[in-house]
Amino acid sequence: MTRYYFSLGLRSLRKAPILTALMVMSVAFGVAASMTTYAVFRAVSGDPIPWKSRQLFFPQLDVWGPASRAAHGYTTLPSDLTYTDAMALMRRRGDIPQTAIYPIEPTVYAQDPTQKPRAIAGQAVFVDFFKIVDAPFRYGSAWSAQDDQDRTPLAVISDDLNQRLFGGTNSIGRDLRLNDLTFRIVGVLKSWRPQPKFYNLANNQAFEEEDDVFVPFNAAIDAQMDSNGDFYCNDDLPATGFAATLVSSCVWVGYMVQLSSPAQISAYGQRLDGYMSEQRQAGRFNWPANYALPDLQAMMQQMHVVPAETKMSVVVAASLLIVCMVNAIGLLLAKFLRRSGEIGVRRALGATRGAIVLQFGAEAAAVGVAGGVLGLLLTGLGVTWMQHVLDPRIAELVRVDALLMLETLLLAVVATVIAGMYPILRAAGVRPAMQLKID
Amino acid sequence: MSIHPIIAALRKHKTGTILIMLQIALTLGVVCNALFVVGQRLDRMHRATGIDEANLLLINTSHTGLKTNTDASRSQLDASIQGDLQALRKLPDVADAYESNSMPLARFGEGLGLRKTADKHGDINGLIFYVDEHAIPTLGLKLIAGRNFRADEIGAHSLLGVVEPPVIIITQHMANELFPAGDALGKQVYMTSSTRPSTIIGIIGHMESNAPHANDEDYVWNCMLLPYRMTASQRIYVIRARPGRLQAATQSVPTALIAQDPLRVIPDGYGDEAGGRTFAQVRADTFRSDRAVLQFMLVISVILLAVTGAGIVGLTSFWVGQRRKQIGVRRALGATQHGILLYFLTENIFISSCGVILGVAMAIGFNLWMETQFEMHRLPLPYIAWGVVALLVLGQAAVLGPALRASKVSPMEATRSV
């Protein structure tokens, strides 16, 4: 019987090709616009480390005070710490994994003279970094806590850099010339590229280029490597040069800590509060001790990892889908009620309301499937278009996969069935006697 | 024609009428806001930067081998920068060149405050540009008062130093904010970290900063030119090529710079990371996301209007089909073709009007909500007015076809049974 209804439905759709085409296109455009923007949204809002994101926290301290923050346009605490505070927190780390971090962009000089020197992106970190982010090693391992303390110039490099400089061989123990200093390679990572770059959101590094080198934080400071990220000051630098940045109130050092239980989280909060109270008592500032400890999700919000434009596009596309659905309701209604006579005859001949619902439901579903298939094509076009117009670093994250295709079809069918509900009920409500009388 | 029979007829098609109204309202609400976004982006992309953009080239270069922590190394770096500039200015493809930390639309750079007194209050924020006396001719900036820097006023300076130049040039926007009376020229001001005053020796009419996306207008139009050569390992060269030789300069300039210092890095990369970009490329990179949003909003608006138009055509056709017999009766009773046409047009204008009234409310509501979410501005009235006109015209155009068909219904229909 269902098959019969489908063939009835298809026949009816064929009889009014323009109306059918309008409905199908309406569904297809609405679905395609929504799914295209969703594909972009999904790419930039994804959880880069789902198994651990609830354990990652990013301490922020109110070292500028409310007045100074307001004057500099801050509605939240600065996302970065001063060097002084970051080092103070590191000294009190106990056995909780945590790391100060700042982005660097050293020039790497290859031993092979035919290769041009080039600037590469990297991060200055403490050893816990590798444990916190679960970085996968191909060769070697991270340096030791002792190396951190000894400020040893060591390096962990990316798979990519290892390919470029050493042809992918095991380069452990080899020298890496960064700027004018030599760093010894202790680890080579496997291909690893979390997006967004969650470990240094504080420095607005969400979609920056891939990091090729990681060096001990203290070694980078000793080498006077400048930060390649944010550097915000609310006051004069006390002196000139790199050394001054280390004692200034300028914020430029990111910080990440892994806390595994609610007890640890509250204990760490208390520790931050204690630190700030201590600083206040020492006379460093006169406003109430204030700190924040956002987790990764909150940090992504604060740093606007998902651009406002992307969210706006999703909202606008969803509105389009709603308009398309309203449109589909009107057209289906017109289409179904035009056949009131036919419904009357079928009902008079003994068809139940359920049968009518089934018959018109099949017709609506056929529109939904057709709209879905066309919508799929349009989504493909839309995503290709987005890949052309978006920033290349974001564009490469936007793609059509099986899941997106399935979701597109599903959205089309669900949307059409919802849109079809009222027209179907109206059709099922046609009273046979009325129709037969008129005819 | 009386509106009464129309309302009576619409009562019989409540659902269809409400659906069309709703569709028109939603479309108006979204299209107004989408086009407002388009308008804002267009403004931002097409407003004048105040510089002569043709033939400009931006080279990003670094040489990290040179340190800046001792006086000797600083003067060595400074000498290498001056050597670079001399070599660049001698190139046949190059009209002029200067070294800097940033340039208009570049999206990297530094900001600082400026105030009238030495105490720490009343900063007006702006962006700083390290330049020499070649910057104004290279960029084609218009000095509206005062003078350019002299070569002997330019000094070497590192980014992490205290900024306190004896003389500065600022934009008129900034001058007016500091000195609303318009008498900024010759006045002494203080940079944020400085205790020594700087004298304003020149005022530039118009110059857009390196931060065109800043929400705060101050960061867009407040620019300060400082008489400094930036002695930092990473810096930029801004080059004006001779007319018609920009493409040649994109090759010859990096070659000349590498010849000056074989160990320097001019990154390959793409987009913002590229070492050499014409200003047209800088502009394209900076406004890439604006262009994407703009195109997206335009496409969505067109689809919305098309879908709504198609919906009106579809439903009206259905109504015409349903009412053929009644139309025939009216025609038989003496209604003219013109009268029938007018009937459907009036019916549509009535529905559309109700729709746009609801739509205006939706447009404003949507805008208020977007204001809280996306730092949108208040929707200006003309957008709403034009949106209303567009939807009314769209409704009439959409209904014209079915209405014409209705007007052609023969009075004979009245006598037919089906």
Is the CB of residue B111 less than 8 Å away from at least one CB of chain A? no
Contact between A107 and B37 using a beta-carbon 8 Å cutoff: no
A38 lies in the same domain as A136: no
A104 lies in the same domain as A249: yes
A33 lies in the same domain as A93: no
Q: What do you get for the CA distance between the two ends of chain A, in Å?
A: 27
Name the residue with tokens 């053929």: B324
- List the pLDDT tens digit at each of the 439 positions of chain A: 677 777 877 787 777 788 888 889 989 999 999 999 999 998 888 888 989 999 999 999 999 999 888 877 788 899 999 999 999 999 999 899 999 999 998 888 888 777 878 889 999 999 999 999 999 999 999 999 999 999 999 999 999 999 999 999 999 999 999 988 899 999 999 999 888 899 989 888 778 888 999 999 999 999 988 888 888 888 766 677 788 889 888 999 999 999 999 999 999 999 999 999 999 999 888 899 999 999 999 999 898 888 888 888 999 999 999 999 999 998 888 888 888 888 888 888 888 888 888 888 888 888 999 999 999 999 999 999 999 888 888 888 888 889 999 999 999 988 988 899 999 988 888 877 766 665 4
Is the CB of residue B211 less than 8 Å away from at least one CB of chain A? no
The closest of A234, A289, A44 to B111, measured between CA atoms, is: A234
Q: A25: which chain B residues are within 8 Å (Cβ-Cβ)?
A: 307, 310
Distance CA(A138)–CA(A161), nearest Å, equals: 13
Residue B418 pLDDT greater than 70, yes or no: no
3-state SS track over chain B: CCCHHHHHHHHCCHHHHHHHHHHHHHHHHHHHHHHHHHHHHHHHHHCCCCCCCCCEEEEEEECCCCCCCCHHHHHHHHHHHHHHHHHHHHCCCEEEEEEECCCCCCCCCEEEEEECCCCCCCCEEEEEEECCCCHHHHHCCCEEEECCCCHHHCEEECCCCCCCCCEEEEEHHHHHHHCCCCCCCCCEEEECCCCCCEEEEEEECCCCCCCCCCCCHHHHHCEEEECEEECCCEEEEEEEECCCCHHHHHHHHHHHHHHHCCCCECCCCCHHHCCEEEHHHHHHHHCHHHHHHHHHHHHHHHHHHHHHHHHHHHHHHHHHHHCHHHHHHHHHCCCCHHHHHHHHHHHHHHHHHHHHHHHHHHHHHHHHHHHHHHCCCCCCHHHHHHHHHHHHHHHHHHHHHHHHHHHCCCHHHHHCCC
Show which of B229, B264, B299 is a domain's final residue: B264
A153 lies in the same domain as A211: yes
Contact between B65 and A179 using a beta-carbon 8 Å cutoff: yes
Distance CA(A251)–CA(A65), nearest Å, equals: 13
H or E segment and range at residue A403: helix A402-428
Q: A180: which chain B residues are within 8 Å (Cβ-Cβ)?
A: 64-65, 67
B236 lies in the same domain as B370: no
- Using CA coordinates, name the residue in chain A closest to B29: A319
The closest of A269, A232, A276 to A254, measured between CA atoms, is: A232
Contact between B33 and A22 using a beta-carbon 8 Å cutoff: no
A14 lies in the same domain as A150: no
DSSP-assigned letter for residue A391: -
B30 lies in the same domain as B75: no
State the DSSP string of A255-277: EEEE--SHHHHHHHHHHHHHHHH
Contacts of A367 (CB under 8 A, 6+ apart): A13, A20, A23, A24, A27, A328, A332, A416, A420
The answer for B105, left when phi > 0, alpha when psi is -120 to 50, beta otherwise, is left
Q: Is residue B237 situated within a structural domain? A: yes
Q: B310: which chain A residues are within 8 Å (Cβ-Cβ)?
A: 22, 25-26, 327
Contacts of A110 (CB under 8 A, 6+ apart): A116, A117, A164, A165
Q: Is residue A299 situated within a structural domain? A: no
- pLDDT for residue A238: 67
User: Cis link prior to A262 (omega < 30° from 0)?
Assistant: no
Distance CA(A229)–CA(A208), nearest Å, equals: 10
Show which of A267, A293, A319 is a domain's final residue: A293
- Secondary structure of residue A235 in the 3-state scheme: coil
The closest of A87, A97, A159 to A134, measured between CA atoms, is: A97
CB B174 within 8 A of CB B126: yes
Helix ranges, A282-391 (H) = 296-302, 308-337, 340-348, 353-389
Distance CA(B407)–CA(A5), nearest Å, equals: 36
A11 lies in the same domain as A76: no
Q: Is residue A365 situated within a structural domain? A: yes
Residue B268 pLDDT greater than 80, yes or no: no
Residue B261 pLDDT greater than 90, yes or no: no
Distance CA(B217)–CA(B238), nearest Å, equals: 25
Distance CA(A231)–CA(A211), nearest Å, equals: 19
**Best to test chain B binding among A23, A37, A311, A320 (most B CBs inside 10 Å):** A320
Name the residue with tokens 């390196």: B210
Q: Tell me the pLDDT tens digit for each residue of A381-399.
A: 999 999 988 888 888 888 8
pTM for this entry: 0.86
Is the CB of residue B265 less than 8 Å away from at least one CB of chain A? yes
β partners of residue B237: B59, B99
Q: Is residue A220 situated within a structural domain? A: yes
Contact between B292 and A307 using a beta-carbon 8 Å cutoff: no
Number of neighbouring beta carbons within 10 Å of residue A255: 23
A264 lies in the same domain as A365: no
CB A177 within 8 A of CB A108: yes
DSSP-assigned letter for residue A253: B
Number of neighbouring beta carbons within 10 Å of residue A66: 12
Q: Chain A closest CA to B175's CA: distance in Å?
A: 20
A231 lies in the same domain as A130: yes
The ipTM (two decimal places) reads 0.86
**Best to test chain A binding among B14, B213, B235, B307 (most A CBs inside 10 Å):** B307
Q: Is residue B269 situated within a structural domain? A: no
Residue B90: φ, ψ to 5°? -85, -15
- pLDDT for residue A161: 94
A330 lies in the same domain as A235: no
Contact between B162 and A73 using a beta-carbon 8 Å cutoff: no
- Using CA coordinates, name the residue in chain B closest to A335: B318
Q: Tell me the pLDDT tens digit for each residue of B290-314.
A: 999 999 999 999 999 999 999 898 8
Contact between B69 and A242 using a beta-carbon 8 Å cutoff: yes
Show which of A249, A271, A293 is a domain's final residue: A293
Provide the domain count of chain A. Answer: 2
Contact between B315 and A308 using a beta-carbon 8 Å cutoff: no
Show which of B264, B297, B321 is a domain's final residue: B264
- pLDDT for residue A110: 83
The closest of A264, A209, A261, A253 to A231, measured between CA atoms, is: A253
Say which of A106, A119, A337 has its CB closest to residue B267: A119
Distance CA(B386)–CA(B373), nearest Å, equals: 25
Show which of B248, B264, B280 is a domain's final residue: B264
Q: Is residue B276 situated within a structural domain? A: no
Contact between A312 and B37 using a beta-carbon 8 Å cutoff: yes
B236 lies in the same domain as B110: yes
Sign of the alpha-carbon torsion through B45, B51, B52, B54: negative
Is the CB of residue B311 less than 8 Å away from at least one CB of chain A? yes
Q: Is residue B281 situated within a structural domain? A: no
- Using CA coordinates, name the residue in chain B closest to A310: B293
Q: Tell me the pLDDT tens digit for each residue of A129-153.
A: 999 999 999 999 999 999 999 999 9
Contact between B310 and A329 using a beta-carbon 8 Å cutoff: no
Q: Is residue A54 situated within a structural domain? A: no
B118 lies in the same domain as B82: yes
- Using CA coordinates, name the residue in chain B closest to A225: B64
Say which of A33, A106, A244 has its CB closest to residue B303: A33
Residue B34 binned pLDDT confidence (cut-offs 50, 70, 90)? very high
Q: B162: which chain A residues are within 8 Å (Cβ-Cβ)?
A: 236-237, 240
Say which of B158, B296, B366 has its CB closest to residue A313: B296
Report the residue count for chain A: 439
Burial (CB count <10 Å: 0-12, 13-18, 19+), residue A201: buried
β partners of residue B170: B203, B224
Contact between A241 and B69 using a beta-carbon 8 Å cutoff: yes
Q: B358: which chain A residues are within 8 Å (Cβ-Cβ)?
A: none
Q: Is residue B174 situated within a structural domain? A: yes
Is the CB of residue B108 less than 8 Å away from at least one CB of chain A? no
Q: Chain B closest CA to A270's CA: distance in Å?
A: 33
- pLDDT for residue A434: 66
Q: Is residue B272 situated within a structural domain? A: no
Average pLDDT, chain B: 90
Q: Is residue A53 situated within a structural domain? A: no
Say which of B63, B289, B308 has its CB closest to residue A309: B289
- Using CA coordinates, name the residue in chain B closest to A236: B193
B130 lies in the same domain as B203: yes
Q: Is residue A300 situated within a structural domain? A: no
B130 lies in the same domain as B38: no
Q: A338: which chain B residues are within 8 Å (Cβ-Cβ)?
A: 318, 321-322
Show which of A271, A293, A315 is a domain's final residue: A293
Contact between A19 and B263 using a beta-carbon 8 Å cutoff: no
Residue B92 pLDDT greater than 80, yes or no: yes
Residue B416 pLDDT greater than 80, yes or no: no
- Using CA coordinates, name the residue in chain B closest to A229: B108
Say which of B161, B270, B370 has its CB closest to residue A240: B161
A397 lies in the same domain as A255: no
B143 lies in the same domain as B225: yes
Provide the domain count of chain B. Answer: 2
- pLDDT for residue A60: 96
Q: A335: which chain B residues are within 8 Å (Cβ-Cβ)?
A: 318
Is the CB of residue B296 less than 8 Å away from at least one CB of chain A? yes
Q: A226: which chain B residues are within 8 Å (Cβ-Cβ)?
A: 234
Is the CB of residue B365 less than 8 Å away from at least one CB of chain A? no
Contact between B267 and A439 using a beta-carbon 8 Å cutoff: no
Contact between A389 and B295 using a beta-carbon 8 Å cutoff: yes
Q: Is residue B57 situated within a structural domain? A: no
Is the CB of residue B29 less than 8 Å away from at least one CB of chain A? yes
Q: Is residue A302 situated within a structural domain? A: no
Question: What's the domain range around A341?
Answer: 2-47+307-438
Say which of A29, A180, A322 has its CB closest to residue B64: A180
Window 212-231 of B: residues touching A by CB (8 A cutoff) are: 216
A338 lies in the same domain as A288: no
Better-scored residue on pLDDT, A114 or B238: B238
B85 lies in the same domain as B197: yes
- Secondary structure of residue A397 in the 3-state scheme: coil
Question: What's the domain range around B120?
Answer: 64-264
B243 lies in the same domain as B298: no
A145 lies in the same domain as A27: no
B85 lies in the same domain as B151: yes
B41 lies in the same domain as B69: no
Q: Tell me the pLDDT tens digit for each residue of B383-402.
A: 999 999 999 999 999 999 99
Residue B242 pLDDT greater than 80, yes or no: yes
Window 388-417 of B: residues touching A by CB (8 A cutoff) are: none
B88 lies in the same domain as B222: yes
- pLDDT for residue A216: 97
- pLDDT for residue A439: 46
